[in-house]
Chain A
């Protein structure tokens, strides 16, 4: 049982838009910044979004992040088959004094 809650799977057609939710509490998302990670099959995770809504250099603007209260959202527009991956949200939990992740969302682009 993950501290942060994500939908286990989502699917959408190429070119469409998808939003992945990440729900937490006042001790984690409500108090700290959220990052998002993309894990392509068989590879290590990669940072996609940090500080709720910032993109590292090299990440296309098709990827966006937002946060409101105790929830965060990852948005992907113009879906491509190469976006098929597992996506994880992560943050710090100030009550647990621990890093926490969502359970991950498997995105299928069909």
Chain B
């Protein structure tokens, strides 16, 4: 079964850091682009980042550039999102997503909640 399981969410103060992890199984992780998508409470979906199969190409939404870093460990079938200088507006459910061709998001994790508040 193809599965993505996120972890690492929680409550953090503004300016703080958090590292999200995503464990992948049931497909060739090292052969897949991956993505992070977030959803603020009561709001729509927002694309956050894409990372190429080998990590050699990464794209970010402007609002997180310089603060968030995505990486992957293909040997561990894992995707990561390091989030620094967190702001209240980063509060959201963060989804780990498998990308098929042409920005098609074909597998979604269950999401992990990040709350930035003092």
A interface residue numbers (CB < 8 A to B): 2, 32-33, 35, 37, 39, 44-47, 50-51, 56, 86, 88, 90-92, 97-104
Binding site for A on B (CB under 8 A): 35, 37, 44-47, 50, 59-62, 95, 100, 102-111
Chain B residues whose CB sits within 8 angstroms of the CB of A33 once the complex forms: 102-104
Contact across chains for A44 and B108 when beta carbons are under 8 A apart: yes
A88 to B46, CA, bound (A): 11
| B45 partner residues in chain A, CB cutoff 8 A | 37, 39, 45, 88, 90, 101, 104
> A100 and B102: CB pair below 8 A?
no
- Provide the residues of chain A in CB contact with B37, threshold 8 Å: 45, 99
- Chain B residues with CB under 8 Å of A90's CB are 45, 47, 103, 105
B106 to chain A, nearest CB (A): 5
Which chain B residues lie closer than 8 Å to A32 at the CB level?
102-103
Residue numbers in A under 8 Å from B60 (CB-CB): 98
